[in-house]
Structure 1
Amino acid sequence: MCGLAGLLLPSPQRHGDELAALAGAMGDALAHRGPDDRGVWVDAQAGIALAHRRLSILDLSPLGHQPMASADGRYVLAYNGEIYNFAELRAELEARGAGFRGHSDTEVLLAAVVAWGVEESLRRCNGMFALALWDRHERCLWLARDRVGKKPLYYGWAGDALVFGSELKALWQHPEFDNGIDRDALTLLLRLDYIPAPHCIHERSFKLMPGHVLRMDAAAVLAGASAHRPAQAQRPFWDARERMRAALAAPFEGSDAEAEQRLDALLRDAVALRMVADVPVGVFLSGGTDSSIVTSMMQAQSGRPVHSFSIGFEGSHHDEAPLAREVAEHLHTDHTELYVSGADALAVVPRLPAMFDEPFADASQVPTALVAKLARGGVTVALSGDGGDELFFGYSRYRRALRNWRMLSRVPAALRRSLARIARGQGEASRGGGLPALLAEMGARGIGDVYRNRVTRWRDPVAVVPGARAIDSFYGQADPLDGTGTPADAMMLADFVTYLPDDLLCKVDRTSMAVSLEARAPLLDWRVAEFAWSLPLHMKLRGGESKYLLKKVLLRYLPAAMVYRGKRGFGAPVTAWLRGDLREWADDLLSPERLAADGLLDAHAIGALWRRFAQGERKWHTHLWNVLMFQAWEDYWRQSRARVRGAPVSPVG
């Protein structure tokens, strides 16, 4: 796991030392992602510079140093992530005559590109990655991101230069990166608690989408500097919707026992691949289905006790630590448990803007940061259970949405459209339940519209962001699968391509990388995902039990009492915080004078909501938390930019 950064100029405008110093500063902003090594590579004639910060996981020797050139000298790579099937690819490449100096997956990836080209190599890779690859023959830059979006990659324009990096703080280091706030993207934050790819909080800036590549040469950089939406140049090498459609077109037709055996074998292999490292490996264990199955399979394939980690919350009714402890004791893992107080959790809040460096408002970011810090005290790599809910129908909101859609489907479409017109103008009242909520759903065109109501915070965010235009995400589609599959499949797809990469995986990446910890997610192996998509719904939901097949597999490792118990979640008591210890902090960030001076948010509307919340009204904590996360982030961004403007860039030593 590492951090990468760099820039590409439309023409050679800077000397090599200047380019190296600038790229080095961009890379150094990501030192937390890679504290073990630092590298910069420059071709001033081509106007390209790559920077890399390394967290050594495989091949700890200098032979793993990046940026790394291919054996033939054509390609130079700065890469963040892991290729889990690198040993298999290496054997295939050696059979074709390739030679290797070390045993890093970086060297294997470069040899693969030489042999098969960029996009075919990525399709052969089973891993998590973001990369910047310079082709010296074609004089073009490739940016790429893994299938699911486990690793982040931002890009944008600073003046007429293309700048890119694992986090926005790298882009901020360029003195000409003065890109303001994208008000349209801000409405997505208010709606979802995060900003989904390809959008970014900054103007003229974007996220590379999961499973996509971007090819840029000097002409494309120059054209992109003035284009309104250059994100359109991204193209997929793997498309989740198309892969789900293909899986649904060739459904699994075996018995329950056969499906259970197949899933067990796939998951065991996915876990085993992610246990390969030259540093200590552990696991996040909450006691729920997903983390328990990963921990069980790790322990079943390990010759020594696996190091597991969990945290508990003092005085909480949602404490999962006892569940995790039971699982750990049954499996005989080397378990580390830490109970934290409210004060411990609140101490994380001021650090969130620097940790995420794009506004992000899923409040479970706080406990996730705490467990990542705990794990880093014992290991350098930790496996997680992310992905089980999206692949195996794990969320209760899926069932509620299906129930609502079944009821709505009985109402004639013309009548629903009439009722929907009545509902317009309800705004945030529809978030509070009752008749306004029912009316707001009446105009649903399909399951996608119903489900969007389940995942939405601000129902009409454009109303509180002056000058913003309404833009939408994947959730804006009436039917994400366009008639293929079931409504349940459509909801799981929407979460897989939006909520999973832009919320859950972003949260895990930023909190783990903040403490130089690599997190790996075996349930999100692409083979597991495509098999899950081929399964009929009754193998995911049966007799009111979600994750049916996943739990059947888990019964091979744990007793039924540990498998069939309620989901508690991994949240944070935001309401209590905002009415207690964080009240003064929130008062300052939400002051009418401050909001009015910024001009980005409607001070009157937000102030009224804050007063209603303070007076005891329910529901509004989610609305207020994403406003507060934006306000806190904006402070951090302005301070960061001020430091860059005031500090001259020094040459690389």
Structure 2
Amino acid sequence: MSGLCGWIGHGASAADNRGLIESMAAPLARFDASAVTSAQGSSSAAAVAASAASTHVYQQDGLIIALWGNARAGDGLLHAQAQAEGLAPALAQAWRRDPGSVCAQLRGAFSLCILDETSGEALLAIDRMGTQPMAYQSVRGALVFGSSADAILRHPLTPAKIDHQGLFNYVSFHMVPAPGTVYQGQQRLLPGESLRFKNGAISKQRYWRIEFKEDHARQFGELKEQFIQTLRDSVREASTGAEVGAFLSGGTDSSTIAGILCEVGGKPANTYSIGFQAEGYDEMEYARLASRHFGTAHHEYYVTPDDIVAAIPQVAGVFDQPFGNASALPAFYCAQLARKDGITRMFGGDGGDELFGGNERYSKQHIFALYQQVPAALRSALLEPVIGNFPGGEHIKLIRKARSYIEQANVPMPDRLETYNLLGFYGHDKVFTSDFMAGADASGPIMSLRQSYAENQASSLINRMLALDLKVTLADNDLPKVLKACELAGMEVAFPFLSEEMVAFSAGLTAKQKLNGTKLRYFFKEALRGFLPDEIITKQKHGFGLPFGVWLQQHKPLQQLASDSLTDLKKRNIIRPEFIDTLVGQHLNEHAGYHGTMVWVLMMLEQWFRQREQRV
């Protein structure tokens, strides 16, 4: 929890650098008052703001090492040295032996910096899943870095300058995908990526990426036994050194984690759920079902519109760049409830969808991909002309559906994933001012998606989508959502599904074991039959979705907050005032749930600006 920051290539003395590094580290501890541990050289410094168990700092002979997180050494020499001397000193020896092999020897969630004043070289890295972020900026021969942009902005070489592309990407994706940020000159490391810096030059490499073993079929019984044991080991390891509890939405992931936690802990696990008094949004009955089934000590909280009004500025402020996933608010209230009970670490079920094939779009894209298996000559010469030119087809439901299917199926991946993008629906030229668009490329979001999709060459569609989602859905969106919501509540968080062993296990499953026709999570669900209640295995996915659009039409204080936010956003010359007027005056009344999402995204953008202006 909290973070890491520092620099190399700037400063005159350790004494001068101490005040600056402490100033940079201050924002990292502002929500949980974590202790700050720092080390300073003549031209470098680093600091970690975190609990003692998550802080590893070393300084000797011109070398500074700072590691933040629940990391551990893998097997071999590093592991033996870490056991004998501590992790940071062991990393120092590994750096001196072979700098290029350091990152691959680490396991768990971490951010790492190694600053070597003797050679003028630095190494930055984050964990394989991208759980703990790292941003950086190279300027005037120095490298400034931090797990939060708020720390970087406090360095005199890296003042804040908003990047139009980052804002455009935010409105498109509802978050800013890495490696981009919302600030000019700043970049972020990707999951499993390391950065080497020397003589003002940067080189990056992926020291790890997921590799699918798609043709390695094994017997179901053997796989099930390994799967359950890996789950137990992951939960047991993540439970060490803390009073743990678990988010429980009533879905397969959170229910599985809760059940395993009861099993390995030998007592009823503390589970926490959020409900909503809004039709179609409350899933508390499934959470209660899972709790009764496993015998957890269950705790509930019903979030109200007043809660949302109170939390919006706080949640906007905990993020160092705009973030529009509304589920961060219920996650915050859930973590806050657990904190009051003395829980210090919450377990999230995040990662299960992206490892085992649980998102609805996987089955939808499988159906679209089937069209490409029809011979091209048949498609172009017969099917498409007949369906496209069918007399009166626009009035026949079946023909309209066939046309829509063909139209989407002919869009290549990954562009097809964005066919329902809200910004694309409105049109960027209708949303953004022309002055703003002079500094942004409208093709930027889809180009970044294509680049991420192309990085993994798995032979099956499902695995290529999973690899994409490990980055875009998980590392860029869901993990920051939970981590920051928990940080705001003063809570640590762990993700047992994301252990190296569980990731490796999932990569060894065949494509059909993840998506069998249109059956999502095929192996996962079959392996857990008899462990999970059948009702949870067969339920539709939902989670802690927030009924913002519904409440916005009914709750005056929420309406006022949204109205004030959007009115002030008009003055920033980013969004066209006439678009905001149409969005609120027309679109929201047409479909509150759909268009309410854009109201939320723009409201949180303005709220982020307000909180940032108070900090900078």
Q: TM-score, normalised by structure 1?
A: 0.81
Q: Which residue of 1 aligns with 2:244?
A: 281
**What is the aligned-residue identity percentage?**
26
SS at match of 2:293: helix
Q: Which residue of 2 aligns with 1:630?
A: 605
Deviations 1:91-150 (A, max 9, x none): 8557569842xxx65555555545x64442322222011122212432322111101100
Equivalent pair of 1:179/1:204 in contact (CA under 8 Å):
no
Deviations 1:612-644 (A, max 9, x none): 224434532223322222222122222322xxx
SS at match of 2:444: coil
1:366 shift after superposition: 1.1
TM alignment of 1:368-383, pairs within 5 A: 368-377=331-340, 378-383=342-347
Q: How far apart, in 1, do the equivalents of 2:53 and 2:347 lie?
A: 14
Counterpart of 1:55 (choices 51, 56, 60) is: 51
Q: How far apart, in 1, do the equivalents of 2:108 and 2:176 lie?
A: 24
Equivalent pair of 1:369/1:511 in contact (CA under 8 Å):
yes
2:545 is the alignment partner of 1:571: yes
Q: Which residue of 2 aligns with 1:295?
A: 258
Q: TM-score, normalised by structure 2?
A: 0.86
Amino acid at match of 1:376: R
Equivalent pair of 2:249/2:286 in contact (CA under 8 Å):
yes
Q: Which residue of 2 aligns with 1:588?
A: 564
Q: Would the alpha carbon gap of residues 304 and 23 (structure 1) be closer, same or farther in structure 2, given more than 3 Å must change?
A: same
Amino acid at match of 2:331: T
Equivalent pair of 1:354/1:636 in contact (CA under 8 Å):
yes
Q: How far apart, in 2, do the equivalents of 1:435 and 1:589 lie?
A: 42
Q: How far apart, in 2, do the equivalents of 1:210 and 1:478 lie?
A: 11
Deviations 1:465-494 (A, max 9, x none): 421113135522596477642222222221
Q: How far apart, in 2, do the equivalents of 1:165 and 1:216 lie?
A: 15
1:180 shift after superposition: 1.9
Q: How far apart, in 2, do the equivalents of 1:177 and 1:525 lie?
A: 35
Amino acid at match of 2:188: K
2:370 is the alignment partner of 1:395: no
TM alignment of 1:610-629, pairs within 5 A: 610-617=584-591, 619-629=594-604
Q: How far apart, in 2, do the equivalents of 1:478 and 1:32 lie?
A: 33
Q: Which residue of 1 aligns with 2:418?
A: 452
2:172 is the alignment partner of 1:209: no
Q: Which residue of 2 aligns with 1:5?
A: 5
Q: How far apart, in 1, do the equivalents of 2:402 and 2:604 lie?
A: 30
Q: Would the alpha carbon gap of residues 624 and 442 (structure 1) be closer, same or farther in structure 2, given more than 3 Å must change?
A: farther
1:204 shift after superposition: 0.6
Q: How far apart, in 2, do the equivalents of 1:169 and 1:549 lie?
A: 43
1:197 shift after superposition: 0.7
Equivalent pair of 2:290/2:533 in contact (CA under 8 Å):
no
Q: Which residue of 2 aligns with 1:500?
A: 474
Equivalent pair of 1:299/1:306 in contact (CA under 8 Å):
yes
Q: How far apart, in 2, do the equivalents of 1:626 and 1:587 lie?
A: 13
Size of the aligned set, in residue pairs, is 588
1:238 shift after superposition: 0.6
Counterpart of 1:67 (choices 57, 73, 95) is: 57
Q: Which residue of 2 aligns with 1:526?
A: 500
Equivalent pair of 1:448/1:478 in contact (CA under 8 Å):
no
2:224 is the alignment partner of 1:260: yes
2:70 is the alignment partner of 1:82: yes
Q: How far apart, in 2, do the equivalents of 1:495 and 1:214 lie?
A: 23
Q: Which residue of 1 aligns with 2:576?
A: 602
1:417 shift after superposition: 12
Q: Which residue of 2 aligns with 1:235?
A: 205
1:575 shift after superposition: 1.0
Q: Would the alpha carbon gap of residues 524 and 208 (structure 1) be closer, same or farther in structure 2, given more than 3 Å must change?
A: same
SS at match of 2:419: helix
Q: Which residue of 1 aligns with 2:145?
A: 164
Q: Would the alpha carbon gap of residues 262 and 7 (structure 1) be closer, same or farther in structure 2, given more than 3 Å must change?
A: same
Unaligned runs of at least 5 residues, structure 1: 59-63, 224-229, 419-432, 642-653
2:444 is the alignment partner of 1:471: yes
Q: How far apart, in 2, do the equivalents of 1:357 and 1:96 lie?
A: 36
SS at match of 1:506: helix
Deviations 1:566-610 (A, max 9, x none): 32322111212433432222223323xx55542223333343333
1:538 shift after superposition: 2.7
2:166 is the alignment partner of 1:185: yes
Unaligned runs of at least 5 residues, structure 2: 386-399
Counterpart of 1:142 (choices 96, 115, 123) is: 123
Amino acid at match of 2:66: A
Q: How far apart, in 2, do the equivalents of 1:97 and 1:370 lie?
A: 38
Q: Would the alpha carbon gap of residues 440 and 495 (structure 1) be closer, same or farther in structure 2, given more than 3 Å must change?
A: same
SS at match of 1:126: strand
Q: How far apart, in 2, do the equivalents of 1:351 and 1:637 lie?
A: 11
Deviations 1:41-93 (A, max 9, x none): 1112xx111122122346xxxxx6x5333xx656422222112x54x65x855
Q: How far apart, in 2, do the equivalents of 1:295 and 1:121 lie?
A: 34
Further displaced range: 141-150 or 118-127: 118-127
Q: Which residue of 1 aligns with 2:39?
A: 41
2:422 is the alignment partner of 1:441: no
Q: How far apart, in 2, do the equivalents of 1:161 and 1:73 lie?
A: 20
SS at match of 1:405: helix
